[in-house]
Structure 1
């Protein structure tokens, strides 16, 4: 007659399989990087123990008809293991009804050992659940440990391809989901999936989704396959409604901070940085020194833009310059956010906005804005070709391969470190490569701030 030790040996093969397969289950079925919990080792250990306990209880129940009346020792052992499995379900499984159902079957199994048919039935239920959890993770949605109420960066596996996804600000209300250059479908249980798309002045593709308070899931699809990630918006205040204007720039700053391991900063459009204000005043001084008597100013309604417009107006007044209307053929100074700057630069490229060059605020250093042919100049305190900016670009591409660097992302990546260099004007230009018999050296696209173009210093230090 088999002993309790024999009962424990039977599911050993299944247990070995579970040890191999459990990381995928602990990962929500995404295969490793898609939804790794923030406290990975603790949570993964709980899930592995729950799986092994399920194998033991299911094996004991299925073997009951061959073992005869269960011994007290075996009954106590199965009861303890069943309790461990039940606790593991409640901790590791996000769907409450599924967790309660599995826990109920596991806890009822020790009593079912007294009745062969009931024992086989409960063992079969647990074995089926075990197989489903191990193979596909489709029966239960694993609890991804995410920090509620802060932006979330995840890598998901869709149709065999890994793709990064940024959800910001991950608070109740409207949120932005940021993907790479290739559009993917994004949706929720309340919002049918639709493709991500371009946003003015921003790299990559985007979709705006409404998220409820607390935990929910976002579905990401590509190539006919779908994966999902868990989000937790918490119970705090709702997200800002200005996502379609300054949201992408805020997300770029968030991404820079997450890449460096820092905390997401406040949205850059919420205030004017002292160094940026000084750079704008220096730009006005440069134009005044060249005999320019008036400029055209482009601003928007954000707190930063209003403060920047005031700084430019004060600087032009001190220099004896004027702010002209859009019809004048004068230098165009842009202190708006990405969205309005994109519209103004496209007007200049078409000729509907006449201007003697576009002088961009430092935060408008974004490849989609610089790719518009409008003779852009920017006052920067760093060279995009310097070691630190190139390292930021490389680390950014390692975490978000399709992303291009931005000034706000670099500032967030850099953190509290300040650039001590005085501002210089940098010129952005697209490059047309001509066939040549001699090999040419070009900036590596993995670290270039302007793919297909260059950003080069055009002046000395500005006063």
Structure 2
């Protein structure tokens, strides 16, 4: 019976009242079920309490009404059948036990569900034995076996929890609950002959049902490594990226789905040119500290750990750098941010730019307007395009021309203003009739959707299964964020794509013909919205054969 105190992600805020009702309900039900299994004295009072709490849960906590009715019927039937000494009481108690297991482990599966079953069944059996006036001949052996079973199940759950070997074990209620589910049964095993032994099992059972209902503690930040965490603000779970999480100036990023009006450490989160979502710069001290994320409806605090490394200088390319780091974090890799994409030009990207210029030469483009920036990558890529254009006999121009191609090799900020100007120029007069071309790292939603159509040289197909998997994983982990090429490379890790360079066009149309003979990616429509699409509200398809 789900009281809304937990979720599959473990990120839902805890409702203390719902938790207390849940604990009382499950404990009373387990005691009644245990008594029924061993045909002990009927527990009418506890059965009534359990049925009443089931009704309260259905009324106030949005618990399924049918489940609540079934619960109430079973828990009331057990003492009634025991009072009449009907053998069927044991079977009804067994059904009630199954219901307790299901209600305890709501939202869990696999090994965790198996651990729930063992622990709840073992505790319930102990409750039943404790209610017997005349203990069975093998009472000592039974209680020893049940106690050891609880210890093993609790230890297994502790190891599965991920908090067994860090400070969350003693700094969070979640961790303390796990300690209790292991330690208390262990103590009871050694002192099980004492009268208070059943009370110890009650404490262990309550601890188990508590930790199952609690939100899983946030993953501890790794000092000096970009942090991906979640903060619950006003009932909304908001993914938060802190990059590079080093002493000094840092970027904090939340997705567009978080909504406007948020601030971090008192600094408003605002939009950045060419970047998705909202951003703010904050200063972090060395070591651990807390950041407060909030809006008008609430706030939440989360921990950061900047370590003791040297500060990292932030600049206009920092959002691109943070988005690249996000790709690695989504893949589960946690490493210090050694360098940013704008700090260097890769051999693959340089080769792609040369082949792009060769393609323009094959189309007899008259001129290229080249736009770069002052970053190392911008300077290097501009040199590559300039040299290739001279070799191909293509003239370079500094101003928009009708019979020219625009080639943008800058970072996101400069590209955003350049493409905005290009869109305005094309609306007023024929401009860049040979097309708008972007460097590979500029294939992002905010940039591609600035103009009606643009072309990018890529070594992967955004519609292929690997790219779609990354797109879905990123969106799931970060509030529907759209992908970036550098984030994709970080997500892939060492498995970087080795395909030939091919030109892909992004266009704001509902349908677009593909290159002749090009099959559609399996299961991936060419257009539309939702998970899997590289550019929101646009189409990305190949418009050339592989460039040689």
Structures share a fold, TM > 0.5? Answer: yes
Alpha carbons of 1:327 and 1:446: their partners in 2 closer, same or farther (altered >3 Å)? closer
Q: CA deviation at 1:223?
A: 4.8
Q: How does 1:431-446 map to 2 (within 5 A)?
A: 431-432=509-510, 442-446=527-531
- Does residue 334 of structure 1 match 2:457? no
2-structure distance, mates of 1:148, 1:53: 26
The residue correspondences of 1:258-277 to structure 2 (distance < 5 A) are 258-264=329-335, 266-277=339-350
- Displacement of 1:443 in angstroms is 4.2
Structure 1 residues 446 and 317: alpha-carbon distance in aligned structure 2, compared to 1, 3 A threshold: same
Give 1:184 shift.
4.6
Q: Which moved more, 1:144-153 or 1:421-430?
A: 144-153
Provide the rounded CA distance (Å) in 2 between the counterparts of 1:400 and 1:50.
Answer: 30
Q: Which residue of 1 aligns with 2:371?
A: 298
In the alignment, structure 1 residue 45 sits paired with structure 2 residue 169:
yes
* 2:291 equivalent in structure 1: 218
- Cα distance change, pair 319–405 in 1 and its aligned pair in 2 (3 A): same
What corresponds to 1:363 in structure 2?
A: 441
Structure 1 residue 327 displacement after superposition: 4.1
Are the equivalent residues in 2 in contact too, given 1:253–1:409 (CA < 8 A)?
yes
Among candidates 351, 362, 382, match of residue 278 of structure 1: 351
Q: Secondary structure at 1:40's aligned position in 2?
A: coil
The answer to whether the 8 A contact 1:362-1:379 is kept is yes
- Measure the CA separation in 1 of the matches of 2:360 and 2:218: 58
2:303 aligns with 230
Indicate the SS of the match to 2:507: strand
Report the counterpart of residue 537 of structure 2 in structure 1: 452
Q: Give the Cα separation in 2 of the matches to 1:441 and 1:211.
A: 44
**Greater shift in the superposed pair: 384-393 or 288-297:** 288-297
Partner SS state of residue 225, structure 2: coil
CA separation in 2, counterparts of 1:320 and 1:285? 10
Task: Report if aligned partners of 1:294, 1:322 keep a CA contact under 8 Å in 2.
Answer: yes
Question: What is the 5 A alignment of 1:73-152?
Answer: 145-152=220-227
| Superposition deviation, residue 193 in structure 1 | 4.1
Relative distance call for 1:156 and 1:328 in structure 2 (3 A) is same
1:240 matched residue in structure 2: 313
Contact 2:225 2:334 survives alignment (8 Å)? no
Partner of 1:62: none
Quote the residue 2:461 is aligned against.
383
The 1:319–1:199 alpha-carbon spacing in structure 2 relative to 1, beyond 3 Å, is same
RMSD between aligned alpha carbons? 3.0
**Do the aligned partners of 2:253 and 2:279 also contact (CA within 8 Å) in 1?**
yes
Secondary structure of residue in 1 paired with 2:385? helix
Report the Cα distance in structure 2 between the residues aligned to 1:179 and 1:292, rounded to whole angstroms. Answer: 41
**Cα drift, residue 212 of structure 1:** 2.0
Do 1:186 and 1:218's aligned partners in 2 also have CA atoms closer than 8 Å?
no
Contact 2:225–2:246 (Cα < 8 Å) also in 1: yes
d(CA) in 1 for partners of 2:367 and 2:421?
19
2:492 to 402, 411, 414: 414
**Cα drift, residue 166 of structure 1:** 0.3
Q: Distance in 2 between matches of 1:386 and 1:184?
A: 37
Gaps of 5+ in 1: 1-12, 21-37, 55-133, 434-439
Determine whether 1:254 maps to 2:325: yes
- SS of structure 2 residue aligned to 1:156: strand
SS in 2 for 1:376: strand
Residues 503 and 543 of structure 2 are in contact (CA less than 8 Å); yes or no, is this contact kept in structure 1?
A: yes
Q: Does 1:350 align with 2:424?
A: yes
- Other-structure match for 2:238: 163
Instruction: Tell me the residue number matched to 1:113.
Output: none
Change in Cα spacing, 1:229 to 1:260, as seen in structure 2 (3 Å) is same
Contact 2:239–2:254 (Cα < 8 Å) also in 1: yes
TM, length-normalised to structure 2: 0.57
Structure with bigger strand share is 1
Specify which of 343, 346, 360 is matched with residue 287 of structure 1: 360
Retained in 2: the 8 A contact 1:39–1:145? no
Q: Does 1:403 align with 2:481?
A: yes
**Once the two structures are superposed, what CA deviation does each residue of 1:359-415 show, in whole Å capped at 9, x if it has no partner?**
100000101101112531000111111000000011111111220011111111111
Deviation at 1:232, TM superposition (A): 1.2
In the superposition, relative to structure 1, how do residues 169 and 383 fare at CA in structure 2: closer, same or farther (>3 Å)? same
Distance of 1:247 and 1:226 partners within structure 2? 26
Shift of 1:442: 4.7
User: Whole-Å Cα distance in 2 between the matches of residues 178 and 396 of structure 1?
Assistant: 14
2:323 equivalent to 1:200:
no
* Conserved? CA contact 2:267–2:281, under 8 Å: no
Q: Secondary structure at the match of 1:272?
A: coil
- 2 CA distance for matches of 1:305 and 1:273? 12
State whether residues 177 and 206 of structure 1, in contact with CA within 8 Å, keep that contact through their aligned partners in structure 2.
yes
CA distance in 1, matches of 2:179, 2:394: 78
Q: Rg bigger for which structure?
A: 2
Report if aligned partners of 1:184, 1:220 keep a CA contact under 8 Å in 2: no
Give SS of 1:198's match: coil
Cα displacement (A) at 1:318: 1.1
User: 2:507: which partner in 1?
Assistant: 429
State the Cα deviation string for residues 331-373 of structure 1 (Å, max 9, x = none). 0110000110010000001118942321100000101101112
Shift of 1:431: 2.2
8 Å Cα contact 1:218/1:230 also seen in 2: yes
Of 148, 154, 179 in structure 1, the residue corresponding to residue 254 of structure 2 is 179
d(CA) in 1 for partners of 2:359, 2:219: 53
TM-score norm. by structure 1 comes to 0.67
C-alpha distance 417-145 of structure 1, shift in aligned 2 (>3 A): closer
Distance in 2 (CA, whole Å) between partners of 1:306 and 1:441 is: 35
Provide runs of 4+ in structure 1 moved above 4 Å. Answer: 47-54, 440-444
Are the counterparts in 2 of residues 201 and 368 from structure 1 also a CA contact under 8 Å?
A: yes
